[in-house]
Chain A
Amino acid sequence: MIETTPQKRGVPLWVQIVIWVFLVGLLALVGVILGKRQQGTVQPGDAIPDFTLPLFSGYEYEGKSEVKLSDFEGKLVVLNFWASWCKPCEQEAAELEEAWKFYEPGGEVIFLGVDYVDTEPEARAYLKKFGITFFNGPDMGTKISQLFRIRGVPETYFIDQNGALYYVKIGPFLSVDEIKSIIDQKLQ
């Protein structure tokens, strides 16, 4: 009504395109990230990519100082995330070791401990304190924990003989029987 400027130019098309691409791109980015956050940890049925776990010295698997998930094809893998600063982890440490001792002779089940954001001297002290003999190594670069999108420690992932995740335990196990019952589901 009071506009008197002679030219009334709209927004040039290319600027409009840039704006919309930027806006939609931003929203898509945030949306995808939100989706990732909402997902939580990997779920049974999700594909589990291969990863490499370097072992703490003193642990060896068939003479090698690092293991791959694919090394254990045909075996059931119990993947436990822990840290020496994590109090709840201590509650389940002895139970995990006991379960490992139970299945070790059969050779059908492998226990892997992944040490999340920890320092080596403390981690060793922790392993020694609970006399843990199953394979343990540091989560170098927090790559494995990101792969599983863990939300904290302790968390334990059960991967069956075909390499498929079939059970996720958040928080510490309450008993050896709990661990055994989850493993025995897949052992015939």
Chain B
Amino acid sequence: MFAEFGYGVLLVSLIVAIYSGLAAVYGAMNKSAALVESARRAMLLTFPLISVAAAALIYLLINDHYEVAFVYEVTSRSMPTYLKVTAWWGGQAGSLVFWSWLLAVFTSAVTLRKWDRDIEFLPWVILVSAITLTFFLGMTVFFENPFTRFWLVNGNVEPSMFAPANATVFTPQDGQGLNPLLRHPGMVIHPPMLYLGFVSYVIPYAFAMAALITGRTDDRWIRITRRWSLWAWLFLSFGLVLGGRWAYDVLGWGGYWGWDPVEIAAFMPWLTGTAFLHSVMIQEKRGLLKQWNMILIILTYALVIFGTFLTRSGVLSSVHAFANSPIGPFFMGFVSLTFIVSVALVIWRWPQLQAETEMKSMLSREALFLLNNLLFMSILVVCFWGVIFPLISELFTGQKVTVGPPFYERATSPLFAALLFLMAVAPLSAWGHSTVQTLGKAIWKSAIAALAVTVALFFTYTQNIGALIGFFLIVLIVLVTFHEFWRGARARQKTQGENFFTALARLMGRNRRRYGGYIIHISMALMAIGILGIEIFQKQTQGTLAAGEKLEIAGYTVEYRELASWDNQGEGVNYTRAVVNVYEDGIYLGQLTPRIDYYYDSQQNMTIPGNRSTLRDDLYILLVDWQPVSSIGATFKIYVNPLVNWLWIGSLLFLVGVIFAAWPDNDPSEEHARRNITRDNRQPSAAD
């Protein structure tokens, strides 16, 4: 009943989305405002429609309707209700509905904005969104239908949407249950964040396409979508960080980032998105790089779609992952379509995308931004090639190869270091012109201070040259950025006669994007501390201990006390928990309890580390194995991850920075008007 209903609603949403796209394009061609308005309303309608379908799916998930194949695959009776809800995006079919729903939310929101000044964009924005939505809905309707049910036909169980002849519904007693790895609070928010990031990039892309199609290739599309791309970037970044945190807490390999192709697929749009975020500023300030910004937003969208395709179609999957996903060819077609059309549009409009002014100096801020873009693109090239190369090798030589962490680390670490350097230098350079002298003058104090810190670190902490370079750059970024805050506030203090903190607050409030950006830079520097810590200073050891025996690592002593194993019937989990005492230099610090959870329904293990986290380091203990007779002992794997906490601290500050930069202004209408004025002021000057 609910299954048919949900499917029906999905089908109607698909038809509405198709209609919306067709009406928009037809209305634009024939200059029919009524038709475009109709397309807009149809687009608005997709949101409630998909919400209803999603509600039907959630109803089925919560109420143990195991006759529905998707519900059977991702839930089981022992799961708590909140997990049954989050199972919505725990499997292929459901997460496609989730994607569609988010897309409907975003497109509805964007169609509700005031369009008076940009009415020529409207049909094309609707068209691009409608095509994307149609595609995702199409996948759920035709290939990965979450409402498919089991039917008993002549003694065989078959999944099918509609009842085959002489069939009765077959309801399994219990479901298979969600993959235990996905039953983590981090997993509850990590995928939605990532999807939010992915989906929200559809909007800037849609405006970019609208700009190309209409030929209105000034920076209007960038100004409209500035906040969108900032929010998209926030979601994507935070999705990545949450993914890292989840891996650190659940996957049990002592790290948060393994350069797995699936991770990289999500990282690639972030790279282009970050480059885009920087280079649009050049277009806004200086009227340069119109072509490049187009390329970047197209790349970002393409990588979102391509990354989703690579991980979902089974192209990158292993022998044991789900094969033969039916969405493959359909998805491939969509990927090809969007790539080819976007590239063709850019080539067509290339002459109209010429720069309005010229670059004046190689050390100007825009020049440094371009260097930043080059670095992000370089990292992208490394990542893309690392993901694609095994496919090429397999195809042409028949030899399967792994491109793993050593490759990426070696190739990207100098690039990341160069990015850190740019982060330190760029805030000091001016738009339009800068020279070695002006830059040197601005930076030398901070550089000497940073050098002093580095020398101190050399004698007290580490002699590793890579780490020292990293720390130098990190300190430099923090000092330079703080100095910028200080200098700006002092300047205002002098001219406006305000006290220092008022001056600082007003300064930041007046140019939130810049100072939000600086906060983000500092947060990146903090995150870099954590990354350096784990990459360079991580220590590990492993050993099998009998009760009372000890393992030593990096000044810590870990003593195995006891081990207990018990069932939690209600949740269908068997817990095996070890208790260890932790000492540092003979002083008792406390107990840690690494454990292994075994899930009966999915027959999978989950390794939960016992983690003692401080600003200096994490002591991260995994229970690897144990003997049924506890006297023989248990095997532990122990990591000491120095400084890793700074990664999480940095990411919290990052959140603050982006929200500060992206938060809507108090009075949106005023902001709107103000932006229009600046735009009108700018045009003549740009034209002469």
Indicate if A touches B (C-beta under 8 A): yes
Residue positions of A touching B, CB distance < 8 A: 1-5, 7-11, 16, 19-20, 23, 26-27, 29-34, 36-38, 40, 142, 146, 150-152
Q: Across the interface, do B400 and A146 meet the contact criterion of CB distance under 8 Å?
A: yes
Q: Across the interface, do B332 and A19 meet the contact criterion of CB distance under 8 Å?
A: no
Q: A29-B388, A37-B314 are in contact. Are A1 and B351 (CB under 8 A)?
A: no
Q: Mark B345-365, 1 if CB is under 8 A from A, else 0.
A: 001001110111000000000
CA distance A161 to B576 in the complex (A): 54
Q: Which residues from 424 to 482 on chain B have a C-beta closer than 8 Å to any C-beta of chain A? A: none
Residues of A within 8 A of B388 (CB): 26, 29
Residues of B within 8 A of A5 (CB): 354-356
Q: Across the interface, do B332 and A34 meet the contact criterion of CB distance under 8 Å?
A: yes
- B687 (CB) vs chain A CBs: closest residue: A4
Interface status of B664 (Cβ within 8 A of chain A): no
Q: Across the interface, do A3 and B683 meet the contact criterion of CB distance under 8 Å?
A: no
Q: A38-B328, A152-B319 are in contact. Are A29 and B343 (CB under 8 A)?
A: no
How far, in Å, is B390 (CB) from chain A's closest CB? Answer: 10
How far, in Å, is A35 (CB) from chain B's closest CB? Answer: 8
Of A8, A16, A27, A34, the residue contacting B315 (CB under 8 A) is A34
Residues of B within 8 A of A20 (CB): 343
CA distance A8 to B349 in the complex (A): 10
Residues of A within 8 A of B217 (CB): 3
What total of chain B residues lie within 8 Å of the partner, measured CB to CB? 38
How far, in Å, is A15 (CB) from chain B's closest CB? Answer: 9
Residue positions of B touching A, CB distance < 8 A: 216-218, 310, 313-315, 317, 319-320, 323-324, 328-329, 332, 335-336, 339-340, 343, 347, 350-352, 354-356, 388, 391-392, 394-395, 398, 400, 683, 686-688
How far, in Å, is B82 (CB) from chain A's closest CB? Answer: 33
User: From DSSP, what is the main secondary structure of chain B's interface residues?
Assistant: helix
Residues of B within 8 A of A27 (CB): 332, 335-336, 339
How far, in Å, is B436 (CB) from chain A's closest CB? Answer: 30
Residues of B within 8 A of A38 (CB): 314, 324, 328-329
Residues of B within 8 A of A34 (CB): 313-315, 328-329, 332
Q: Across the interface, do B323 and A40 meet the contact criterion of CB distance under 8 Å?
A: yes
Of A4, A23, A142, A146, the residue contacting B356 (CB under 8 A) is A4
How far, in Å, is A110 (CB) from chain B's closest CB? Answer: 26
Residues of A within 8 A of B332 (CB): 27, 30-31, 34
Of B317, B339, B351, the residue contacting A23 (CB under 8 A) is B339
5 pairs from A and B in contact (CB 8 Å cutoff): A30-B391, A31-B332, A34-B314, A37-B323, A151-B319
How far, in Å, is A28 (CB) from chain B's closest CB? Answer: 10
Residues of B within 8 A of A7 (CB): 354
CA distance A33 to B400 in the complex (A): 12
How far, in Å, is B285 (CB) from chain A's closest CB? Answer: 16
